[in-house]
Structure 1
Amino acid sequence: MSGAPHDGGRPAIVVAATPTSNGDLHVGHMAGPYLAGDVYSRYVAATGRPVIYTTVTDDSQTYVPTTAHRQGVAPERLVAESTTRVQRTLTAMGLSMEGLPPIDGRYRETVLEFFTALHAAGRLRRRTVRLPYAERSGTYLYDGLMQGSCPSCLTGSAGGVCESCGHPNNYDELVGPRATMDPDEPVSYRDVEILTLPAEEYRDRLTAYYAEREGHWRPRAMRLVRELLAGPLPDIPITVPGTWGIAVPFPETPGQVLYPWVEAMPAVIYGTWWSAARRGAATAAVDEHWRAEHGAELVYFHGFDNVYHWGLLDLVMLMAHGDRYITPESNVVNEFYDLHGEKFSTSRGHLIWVADLLAEVPRDLVRFYLSLTAPEFQRTDFGVAALRAVTGRRLVEPWNRLADALHDAQAGVRPGPVPVSAPARSRAATMAGRFRVCYELRSFSAAQAAETVLAHLGRLVAAADSGAVPPGDLLVEARTLLAHAAPILIDAAAEATAAGVDLGLTAEPPAEIVPFTLPRLPEIAVPDGDPAGAAGRTPVGV
């Protein structure tokens, strides 16, 4: 197969946005960063490059205690149960992660070392800021602890960042703040001294960084970056006067905890180390894989509502360490995935849990449909009825027709390799080139890769139906199709690999090929009287 990597054996670190441990992952989550990151990671591995795909649960987020309060459970119990559920979902979906790293003593040590180094280097600044304060509970409000209106777009927003426009609203910027746990509780403002990391001090490096990647980011995300750079850059909170999270050791801020959003950066550094250790590649220094001298390709996958955090806040924190660390090659940013025309909502029960969907629909078909309809450039919509109809008509039926045609074409063929014509090798190379455009980072699109699978599938079915294509020619193009569908159709790929089919993407199309069986895809029936199937009801799994 053609498609050798341009960067040789350059290692890759792929990071999916850290999931908050206040519940399981629904279909909207999976169709965003998690599946896309997996598809890219599998493609990178198929080109012969080492890759680590990781994420870490975000236990310190304020959405943990607010969700626990709403459910009437202890936050610690919610974290434990949610982590178990998220891990089961990641495994069930077949994501190529080593697992969720434990939030243990080594984790907390890594996180604190990241910030104590900045503190010792004089990178942090003491600032007196004005924070909303819930009078009855005596709680300072930030992030998920408060609700109000975004000062940039005026829509409803939690603290920290606006989900709609992506702009931050630090400290007292949220309009009309009220406490999430008790909206009727009186709220005042109090001055408090915290430690911050001034993003403005890194403006020149940030401007140069984004200019180099102007064509690498998706348009709406880059537009938000330009909007952020057009105004004063914020003082990023490093510590806050809270009770849920990691206590900080800094003498200037006794009794405070790390601001939850800054924790994710050292968290995924730890996650990379832990994942490598699970593969037998442990290093003494937890941050070894992120050191600039190793030159790894770093890629983030996250939603638009996290552009400020993963695209600017975390970048500033890496830059604050000087030249010690790599910076992201790109941020692959998705939009929201709707369910029947409305945003997925856990609080309203308007959702489908990934685990429930996988109980109804085979995994390869779920992965394919979510890739095909991924909200890459604009919001898209999910429905189980559409999943069944589209995958059945456009994927499963023609795929299995091709599998049958390949089987029939090999009838009477002597055992051993069969020849492949030069025109067929050229077509296979052309196919690989089109898929490469879909999978490589600058133009990555799982949706376009899925569409390309369908386009070539239809072409090969027509070629097989004509009866005019020699077996070797049909086989080499079918293998090219399967190899490039493999990052999405992982079970079909695993079946073929187990049968001895080479699905690597590092070789040129061969002059002869050993006949093989194309794995059939599972068919899904529509239950009588329920065109959407049981998993299509809303809510599901609530």
Structure 2
Amino acid sequence: MSSPLWITATPLASDGELHIGHLAGPYVAADVLSRSLRADGHPVLFTSGTADHAESVELRALRGGRKPEEVAEGFRAAITADWLRAGVRLDRVVRPGRDRGYRRWLQELLLGLYAQDVIVPRTRLAYYCESCRSWLHGAYVTGACGHCGARGEGGLCRRCARPNDAELVDPTCARCGAPGRPRRCRRLYLALEPMRELLADHWRGAELPPRLAVLCESLLEDGLPDVPVGHPGEWGVPVPVDGFAGHRVDSCFESAAMQLFGYGHDKQPLPERALHFCGLGHAFCHVVLLPAILVALGLKLPQAFHVNDTFDAGCGEPDGAPALWALDLLTEFGADTVRRHVLTARPQGPVHGVGRADLEHTRALLDGTWNSWLSRLFAAVREDSAGRVPDAEPGGEGWSALRHRLHRAAEDLREAYGPEAYDPRRVVALLDEVVRCTADFGYVNGFERHRPSGAVRHLRALAAQLAVASALTAWAWPVMPEGATRLAQALDVPPGGPVIPGSLVPPAAGTRLAPPSGPVFGF
């Protein structure tokens, strides 16, 4: 078997529950690609993790009077459960606090890079809170980004994706609100400038979206920064280098390194190619830190990137309304509705937001087109063919033209599902077109049942529609796996086959249909 295509999604900080912004970002989109590739027979390894050692986890624990490990454990369990509810099937989820050998692996990686002078000690300014008597880093400090002016936390800017260590304007302690004072602090840094030529060569060969290309070229033009690898603190993996007792591995560096642990690169060869899904705010970890680690280890890995803008969890809701939590939405609307909607709403440009009214619209669309057509089809088969697949060749008025259009749609779907031209929005639009055209075909040919000589013609039209329904158990499975599986069970066919024109075949004649009591897609 050939080496798998490696698909990654950003490790999620276990400081809160999964919300719709996360689903609309990397996770559902990466899962759709993973499913489509598997259905086509390609080996895939889909990995992610939880950033249990993020500063935001410790900060939430302090505010709630709890231990950081309790916060991380509780939210990790909730996040992974919600991934499953949303149909996101990850092969491996790295759990830094629980995975055996993880801490030692990370420390050995850091020690190896330190021995190569890739990680070096530097004395630089960092922020300190006199009131709390603690160093400020990551979620512990807020301010305006020194590059783009956007307000946010320390570490990485969510708007421009650049590191802002000691470069915030008006830094403020997130715990007490006191101003952060610059102090000299000796820490370990990943020195990127010595890797300039190797990184530049990597970025030239990578499939970078324009926003990431701008980021990388800007970094090269300004001089590649030294990126902190550790900081004084009590939460996280201890830095194993002599002279840095009391320091912990930086969560940004750890998130990048975690990807390699998830793949298990030290136990198996790297894949021929990797596809990374991330939000813009985490892009630096994927497009800079991970390649830098690979370059330092002497590993060459072609990589492509799918990046989305940051999605506001409460977008579309009235001011002051609570965030749209994944568990609530999945319980209320179902995985099919939520997955379909976030793929169309997945932010590629300015974010306009989404609220419950938008999800209601998506559910109504599924009911008014997909489920309505299937309900009519099942009813017609029950009334005109005793609930069994008719013994007739697909046909009917306009079937030749529709079949040609459907074959073309299958080829277009295959392209949009593929890694080279992956476009989940186009996938949804193509699937909707297939259903609308078939529903129109069924309506027109429905009149045949009332013509004395039209019974056979009507049965042929039912067989044609059942062929489309059977194809949708494969064509729609990556996007709406629950509905595609219910449809496959109703037709007594296996779900999740390859997206090809050859799927356009009705179930075996005489098969008794078993339609569900409720909607097929969504609920």
User: Normalised by the size of structure 1, how large is the TM-score?
Assistant: 0.83
Question: Measured at CA, do residues 383 and 449 of structure 1 come closer, stay the same or move farther in structure 2, by a change above 3 Å?
Answer: same
The correspondence for 1:381, drawn from 341, 353, 374, is 353
* RMSD of aligned Cα (Å): 3.0
Give yes or no for the alignment of 1:175 onto 2:169. yes
1:242 corresponds in structure 2 to 233
1:211 corresponds in structure 2 to 204
Question: Measured at CA, do residues 432 and 506 of structure 1 come closer, stay the same or move farther in structure 2, by a change above 3 Å?
Answer: closer
- Within 1, Cα distance between the matches of 2:109 and 2:347? 34
The correspondence for 1:322, drawn from 284, 292, 298, is 298
CA contact 2:337–2:521 (8 Å) conserved in 1: no
Instruction: Read off the aligned partner of 1:271 and give its amino acid letter.
Output: G
Question: Measured at CA, do residues 320 and 349 of structure 1 come closer, stay the same or move farther in structure 2, by a change above 3 Å?
Answer: farther
Report the alpha carbon displacement of residue 312 of structure 1 after superposing the two structures with TM: 1.2
1:288 corresponds in structure 2 to 267
The correspondence for 1:304, drawn from 271, 280, 287, is 280
Report the alpha carbon displacement of residue 511 of structure 1 after superposing the two structures with TM: 8.7
Give the % identical residues. 24
Report the alpha carbon displacement of residue 445 of structure 1 after superposing the two structures with TM: 2.4
Give yes or no for the alignment of 1:431 onto 2:409. yes
Give yes or no for the alignment of 1:493 onto 2:497. no
- Within 1, Cα distance between the matches of 2:473 and 2:373? 11
- Within 2, Cα distance between the matches of 1:414 and 1:164? 55
Report the alpha carbon displacement of residue 471 of structure 1 after superposing the two structures with TM: 4.2
Deviations 1:71-90 (A, max 9, x none): 33322221121112112211
User: Normalised by the size of structure 2, how large is the TM-score?
Assistant: 0.85
Question: Measured at CA, do residues 130 and 510 of structure 1 come closer, stay the same or move farther in structure 2, by a change above 3 Å?
Answer: closer
1:354 corresponds in structure 2 to 326
Report the alpha carbon displacement of residue 372 of structure 1 after superposing the two structures with TM: 2.0
CA contact 1:344–1:351 (8 Å) conserved in 2: no
Deviations 1:202-229 (A, max 9, x none): 222322332234xx44433333333323
Question: Measured at CA, do residues 478 and 512 of structure 1 come closer, stay the same or move farther in structure 2, by a change above 3 Å?
Answer: closer
- Within 1, Cα distance between the matches of 2:389 and 2:520? 30
Question: Measured at CA, do residues 239 and 225 of structure 1 come closer, stay the same or move farther in structure 2, by a change above 3 Å?
Answer: same
The correspondence for 1:504, drawn from 497, 512, 516, is 497
CA contact 1:218–1:377 (8 Å) conserved in 2: no
Paired residue secondary structure (1:299): strand
Q: Runs of 5+ in structure 2 lacking a partner?
A: 446-456
The correspondence for 1:161, drawn from 150, 156, 165, is 156
Paired residue secondary structure (2:498): coil
> RCO higher in 1 or 2 (8 Å CA, sep ≥ 6)?
1
Instruction: Read off the aligned partner of 2:162 and give its amino acid letter.
Output: H
2:453 corresponds in structure 1 to none
Report the alpha carbon displacement of residue 507 of structure 1 after superposing the two structures with TM: 5.8
- Within 2, Cα distance between the matches of 1:338 and 1:178? 23
2:369 corresponds in structure 1 to 398
Question: Measured at CA, do residues 436 and 270 of structure 1 come closer, stay the same or move farther in structure 2, by a change above 3 Å?
Answer: same
Paired residue secondary structure (1:132): strand
Deviations 1:154-182 (A, max 9, x none): 22121112222222212x21122221111
Paired residue secondary structure (2:360): helix
- Within 1, Cα distance between the matches of 2:337 and 2:362? 10
Instruction: Read off the aligned partner of 2:22 and give its amino acid letter.
Output: H
- Within 2, Cα distance between the matches of 1:333 and 1:113? 30
CA contact 1:22–1:82 (8 Å) conserved in 2: yes
2:64 corresponds in structure 1 to 71
Report the alpha carbon displacement of residue 462 of structure 1 after superposing the two structures with TM: 0.8
Instruction: Read off the aligned partner of 1:388 and give its amino acid letter.
Output: E
- Within 1, Cα distance between the matches of 2:160 and 2:522? 39
- Within 1, Cα distance between the matches of 2:27 and 2:258? 17
1:220 corresponds in structure 2 to 211
Give the alignment of 1:457-472 within 5 angstroms: 457-467=435-445, 470-472=461-463
Question: Measured at CA, do residues 151 and 521 of structure 1 come closer, stay the same or move farther in structure 2, by a change above 3 Å?
Answer: same
Question: Measured at CA, do residues 122 and 99 of structure 1 come closer, stay the same or move farther in structure 2, by a change above 3 Å?
Answer: closer
Count of equivalent residues: 494
Report the alpha carbon displacement of residue 252 of structure 1 after superposing the two structures with TM: 4.1
- Within 2, Cα distance between the matches of 1:141 and 1:180? 9
Give yes or no for the alignment of 1:113 onto 2:119. no
Give yes or no for the alignment of 1:333 onto 2:301. no
CA contact 1:479–1:503 (8 Å) conserved in 2: no
1:449 corresponds in structure 2 to 427
- Within 2, Cα distance between the matches of 1:152 and 1:49? 42
The correspondence for 1:131, drawn from 118, 123, 126, is 126
2:184 corresponds in structure 1 to 191
Instruction: Read off the aligned partner of 1:317 and give its amino acid letter.
Output: I
1:31 corresponds in structure 2 to 24
- Within 2, Cα distance between the matches of 1:409 and 1:231? 68
Question: Measured at CA, do residues 196 and 51 of structure 1 come closer, stay the same or move farther in structure 2, by a change above 3 Å?
Answer: same
- Within 2, Cα distance between the matches of 1:523 and 1:404? 11
Paired residue secondary structure (2:50): coil
Report the alpha carbon displacement of residue 22 of structure 1 after superposing the two structures with TM: 0.8
Paired residue secondary structure (1:330): strand
Question: Measured at CA, do residues 136 and 489 of structure 1 come closer, stay the same or move farther in structure 2, by a change above 3 Å?
Answer: same
Report the alpha carbon displacement of residue 27 of structure 1 after superposing the two structures with TM: 1.1
Deviations 1:104-156 (A, max 9, x none): 34111222222222223332222221111222433222111111111112221
Once the two structures are overlaid, the 10-residue window that deviates more, 34-43 or 109-118, is 109-118
- Within 2, Cα distance between the matches of 1:88 and 1:99? 14
- Within 2, Cα distance between the matches of 1:509 and 1:98? 29
CA contact 1:240–1:256 (8 Å) conserved in 2: yes
- Within 2, Cα distance between the matches of 1:512 and 1:502? 13
- Within 2, Cα distance between the matches of 1:508 and 1:460? 15
1:367 corresponds in structure 2 to 339
- Within 1, Cα distance between the matches of 2:290 and 2:176? 31
Instruction: Read off the aligned partner of 2:168 and give its amino acid letter.
Output: L
- Within 2, Cα distance between the matches of 1:271 and 1:311? 17
Question: Measured at CA, do residues 495 and 371 of structure 1 come closer, stay the same or move farther in structure 2, by a change above 3 Å?
Answer: same
Question: Measured at CA, do residues 391 and 414 of structure 1 come closer, stay the same or move farther in structure 2, by a change above 3 Å?
Answer: closer
Paired residue secondary structure (2:75): helix
Deviations 1:29-48 (A, max 9, x none): 11111111111111111111
Q: Highest CA radius of gyration, 1 or 2?
A: 2
Give the alignment of 1:515-534 within 5 angstroms: 515=508, 521=519
Report the alpha carbon displacement of residue 190 of structure 1 after superposing the two structures with TM: 2.4
1:477 corresponds in structure 2 to 468
Question: Measured at CA, do residues 137 and 341 of structure 1 come closer, stay the same or move farther in structure 2, by a change above 3 Å?
Answer: closer
Paired residue secondary structure (1:337): coil
